[in-house]
Amino acid sequence: MVVAEFPEYELLAVKQKWAALAFQAFPRPWRRDECWTPEEAARLEALVAEFTAASERICERCGNDGTLRETRPIELILCDACEPVVGLDGRW
């Protein structure tokens, strides 16, 4: 369900982490036969949006202030120090 709602889940490590944190922070587990209330859904949406926005400014490698780098097949948020040391495949 998280993967379906967050297409970038597997691509962006920080977003994956934040999304997981936001999901775990939800007041009660989602069940197939028990839908969230609109208030709960809105709260989760706000949480995820908040974490997603924060992650877009944080270097995925070291956690410092970073910016979106579009020089690789996958997009990464990296700081100026980490940008030159991360390979084209996004691994470090």
Kindly write out the interface string for residues 4-43 of this chain, putting x where it contacts Zn ion by CB under 5 A and - elsewhere: ----------------------------------------
Confirm or reject binding of residue 76 to Zn ion (CB under 5 A): no
Do 41 and 4 meet the contact criterion of CB atoms below 8 Å apart?
no
Q: How far apart (Å, rounded) are the C-alpha atoms in residues 52 and 30?
A: 21
Number of residues that bind Zn ion (CB under 5 A): 6
Confirm or reject binding of residue 79 to Zn ion (CB under 5 A): yes
Side-chain-side CA neighbours of residue 57 (13 Å): 4
Least distance to Zn ion, CB of residue 6, Å:
23
* Piece of 5-13, 15-23, 55-63, 67-75 that binds Zn ion (CB under 5 A): 55-63
Do 76 and 12 meet the contact criterion of CB atoms below 8 Å apart?
yes
Q: One-letter amino acid identity for 64?
A: N
* Cα radius of gyration (the chain): 15
In the complex, which residues of this chain contact Zn ion (CB under 5 A)? 59, 61-62, 64, 79, 82
